[in-house]
Amino acid sequence: MDEINAQFLPWQAELLQRALALKQQQHLPHAVLIDTASEQDISAFARYLSMLLLCDKPDDLATCGTCQACEMMQAGTYADYMLVTLETNEKTKKINKNINIEQIRKLIHEVSLTRQYDRLKIAAIYPAETMNKSSANALLKTLEEPAPQVLLILLTHNRGRIPVTLRSRCQSWTIDPPARNQALEWLRGQGVQDEMATSYLQFASGDPVLALHLKQHGYASLVSQFKSRFSQFLRSELSVTDLCRGLLSSETAIIRRLINMTLMAYCYQMSGVDANAELRSGSNKNSAQAIMNLRLRAQQQLQVEENNLDLQLQLEDVLISLKQILTRRFI
């Protein structure tokens, strides 16, 4: 994924052009909130956007790479740029689930200092939705009383989790998802063959970067194996422990996606949405609703980074519940 992060993605170009035009017109806002529907890390986009705005001689959307700002940003030594993100807990060695108030206080202090260079001072916060209440409240005053020549960039995957008091003080920008043809073209450019590109793009709900990530982790094979083993589990030929054990070598995010996809597929089948559904016969709205409720529960239970419960136990609970729903339909 490093090669992807080395430059902006084609569907991000429109937003970069907008930002550069605002800078050239001297109409940049003091704060922007950038949201994206993609699940993938966009901290690299924040950095590239910052480099573009700091560059002395941008050529279209390419930074010159030779001015002082470009050289220092590439070296990570540009003093008037900072990125606030989730930190690793020194005791647990795990990534914290929130951006804490100490981080925001440090940001506030940094942006209050005199600029070291005759350019913008830029501070980015990502993922902004992980700021806790204290952090958000601390940031509010800085947004209400912006310093000159300072740009605050808040980036989020879920703007609904950003307090309205912060949202109302930021200009709202969106990284629009690519059209299907553009997404497929990009995947082909990454060496993914046409038929496989189509399949993985469907797995990834239209997100090409996620599609490439899933391909690199053998997601199609995982789906095929899981379907076969889940059928054995339904017939009581395989224990739930053995079923889950076959998943645990995969990333937690990939496991969550697989379980969510499985639950949605059964929900569609029971609702009569899927015309080719094997289990459509005798389906009813109660079963479909039960699976939808289970899906919502699973989304919470499988967030193991947040609740610290054992992933295998959570998986077993969800899959046993699904089996019970499916089994009840034929009793």
pLDDT at 284: 59
The mean-pLDDT minimum among 8-12, 193-197, 304-308 falls in 304-308
Could you tell me the pLDDT band of residue 139, with boundaries at 50, 70 and 90? very high
Closest CA to 207 of 15, 14, 42: 42
Same domain assignment for residues 289 and 157: no
Same domain assignment for residues 129 and 16: yes
Is 119 within a domain?
yes
Separation CA 318–CA 261 (nearest Å)? 13
259, 302 Cβ separation under 8 angstroms: yes
SS3 41: coil
Same domain assignment for residues 236 and 168: no
Separation CA 142–CA 144 (nearest Å)? 5
pLDDT at 134: 96
Is 172 within a domain?
yes
Please state, in angstroms and as integers, the Cα–Cα distance from residue 48 to each residue in 12, 15, 205, following that order: 11, 12, 26
For the cut 60, the answer to whether the pLDDT of residue 299 exceeds it is: yes
The mean-pLDDT minimum among 77-81, 164-168, 242-246, 283-287 falls in 283-287
Domain residues for 225?
217-328
Is 192 within a domain?
no
Is 287 within a domain?
yes
For the cut 70, the answer to whether the pLDDT of residue 77 exceeds it is: yes
For the cut 80, the answer to whether the pLDDT of residue 22 exceeds it is: yes
Same domain assignment for residues 144 and 246: no
Residue 145 in tokens? 């009383």
pLDDT at 178: 96
Is 183 within a domain?
no
Number of folded domains in the chain?
A: 2
Same domain assignment for residues 265 and 136: no
Separation CA 50–CA 69 (nearest Å)? 10
How buried is residue 185: exposed, middle or buried, by Cβ count under 10 Å (0-12/13-18/19+)?
middle
For the cut 90, the answer to whether the pLDDT of residue 302 exceeds it is: no
Is 231 within a domain?
yes
pLDDT tens digits for 234-288? 999 999 999 998 898 888 889 999 999 999 888 888 776 554 444 444 445 788 8
Same domain assignment for residues 152 and 257: no
CATH number where 148 lies? 3.40.50.300
For the cut 90, the answer to whether the pLDDT of residue 307 exceeds it is: no
Is 199 within a domain?
no
Residue 23 in tokens? 């800078």
pLDDT at 305: 53
pLDDT at 203: 92
For the cut 70, the answer to whether the pLDDT of residue 99 exceeds it is: yes
Same domain assignment for residues 120 and 245: no
**Taking residues 41-52, what's their average pLDDT?**
94
Q: How many beta carbons lie within 10 A of that of residue 108, not counting itself? A: 15
Is 187 within a domain?
no
**Taking residues 169-184, what's their average pLDDT?**
96
Q: What is the pTM of this model?
A: 0.83
Same domain assignment for residues 231 and 157: no
Same domain assignment for residues 171 and 60: yes
pLDDT at 304: 58
On average, the pLDDT of the chain sits at: 89
Separation CA 14–CA 34 (nearest Å)? 13
- Which of 121, 152, 176 marks a domain boundary? 176
SS3 275: coil
How buried is residue 96: exposed, middle or buried, by Cβ count under 10 Å (0-12/13-18/19+)?
middle
Same domain assignment for residues 61 and 160: yes
pLDDT at 252: 87
pLDDT at 228: 95
Same domain assignment for residues 88 and 23: yes
Could you tell me the pLDDT band of residue 91, with boundaries at 50, 70 and 90? confident
262, 321 Cβ separation under 8 angstroms: no
H helices within the chain, ranges in order? Answer: 2-5, 13-24, 43-54, 68-75, 101-112, 133-144, 164-167, 180-189, 194-203, 208-216, 219-234, 240-245, 252-271, 285-301, 304-307, 311-328
Separation CA 251–CA 219 (nearest Å)? 10
H/E element holding 90? none
For the cut 90, the answer to whether the pLDDT of residue 301 exceeds it is: no
**Taking residues 312-327, what's their average pLDDT?**
92
Same domain assignment for residues 9 and 151: yes
For the cut 60, the answer to whether the pLDDT of residue 3 exceeds it is: no
